[in-house]
Amino acid sequence: MATTKTQVGIVGAGPAGLLLSHLLHLEGVGSVVLESRSRDYVEHRVRAGVLEHGVTELLADCGVGARMRAEGLVHHGIELRFDRTRHRMPLSDLAGGRAITVYGQQEVVKDLIAARLEAGGAVHFGAECTGIDGSSPSSASIAYRTDGRDEVLECDMIAGCDGFHGVTRSAAPPGAIAALEHTHPFAWLGILASVAPSTDELIYCRHERGFAMHSMRSHEVSRLYLQVGPEEDIEQWPDDRIWEELATRFVTDDGWSLASGPVTEKGITAMKSFVVEPMQWGRVFLAGDSAHIVPPTGAKGMNLAVADVRALAAALVSWYRTGDESLLASYSATCLRRVWRAQEFSTYMTTMLHPLPGDDFGAGLALSRLRYAVSSRAAAESLAENYVDLSSL
């Protein structure tokens, strides 16, 4: 069995694993990224779209922000829509001038892969990790399979950046970590469509038939979502039905209309809230979706992944430079503080915007929260501060 060595072994080439590898490289720390999928697959996996203010600054500061700055859409507000009425939330006015950037996660991934490969970094695609050994006090190793061969990567530390369905988390010894979770009784049906967005800013819409959302990827590509049942079958949703349902939910009294176009991609995503505590055992550190999942209504998942690896890179660099373990020891607590804030905000947005069949009391509370958010400066500032930037928490 072939064995190679590096300083930090990273499982997963999503935003968390790639950015960690890049940040370590900038500080002279070596790493190898092992990714089970192909480069083409990870570069075209459509997911998140909203980058927090602090995340865009980090990406720009570490040299991978040029295309994001040129092609990303900077948004200074969002719309909350309910009772057939539109309400603009002026995020930047409410949150000290800060803004969000709409830039697809797969574009961030492309930029990071390009930067790693240009710098001679080791990113192995088609390398599926099968075993993690991080419990020994002096060393760690990752077993993986590539091109039909079993290989081993020996390293000082392991970063589990392999997402919710990865293998790292399940390698924890019994009792080392605890999983806390909540499943929401609905899912999101998402589409990508070749049509100019019908809005300049993201629309979060509550309607009695369910939540609807209008986002975008560019001036020519729209991204839209519909709340559907948790067991919904995508086959039951031909494109015409999706556009009809979107138009029904988005309807307003002021004549706003939704433009439709060819659907280029569609899928259903379950809604989950999930946290692992602590995010570390032995020489293994979890980051991003492997450690926590938030429902997408707060637009926090990728932003949390970035914030985790910023903290992890700083802790690892400090340990390599000085032998000081204090930042590694506090890594989990530092991240979990922000993770729980994001969980609370994501739950607030999700319950406020998604009706549950038969829950009239819940509907009363949710509508009151929406009315409060659009009429009270204090409530609006709180929403804006959480939405625009939790990265500095």
Residue range at the interface with ligand RFL (CB under 6 A); choices 59-67, 161-169, 253-261, 327-335: 161-169
Q: How far is the CB of 16 from ligand RFL (least distance, A)?
A: 3
Residue 129: name its binding partner from ligand PHB, ligand RFL, none (Cβ under 5 to 8 Å by kind). Answer: ligand RFL
Looking at the Cβ atoms of 132 and 202, the one nearer to ligand PHB is: 202
320 in active site: no
Range 145-154, long-range pairs (CB < 8 A, 24+ positions): 149/1, 149/2, 150/1, 151/1, 151/2, 151/3, 151/4, 151/127, 152/1, 152/2, 152/3, 152/4, 153/3, 153/4, 153/5, 153/6, 153/9, 153/32, 153/34, 154/3, 154/4, 154/5, 154/6, 154/9
Residue 13: name its binding partner from ligand RFL, ligand PHB, none (Cβ under 5 to 8 Å by kind). Answer: ligand RFL
272 in active site: no
CA distance from start to end of the chain:
44
Q: How far is the CB of 363 from ligand PHB (least distance, A)?
A: 21
Residue range at the interface with ligand RFL (CB under 6 A); choices 170-178, 245-253, 299-307, 322-330: 299-307
Region 279-298 residues binding ligand RFL, contact defined as CB under 6 A: 288-289, 296
* 356 contacts: CB under 8 Å, gap ≥ 6: 185, 186, 362, 363
- Select from 143, 145, 173, 146 the least CA-distant residue to 158: 143
Element (H, E) at 334: helix 326-353
295 in active site: no
Count Cβ atoms below 10 Å from residue 55 Cβ, excluding itself. 28
Using the rule CB under 6 A, which residue among 20, 21, 49, 116 binds ligand RFL? 49
Looking at the Cβ atoms of 47 and 87, the one nearer to ligand RFL is: 47
Looking at the Cβ atoms of 285 and 387, the one nearer to ligand PHB is: 387
> How far, rounded to the nearest angstrom, does the alpha carbon of residue 229 sit from its chain's CA centroid?
22
- Residues annotated as part of the active site: 75, 204, 296, 300, 387
Residues in contact with ligand RFL by CB under 6 A are 11-17, 34-37, 42, 47-50, 105, 128-129, 161-163, 166-167, 188, 190, 269, 288-289, 296, 299-303, 305
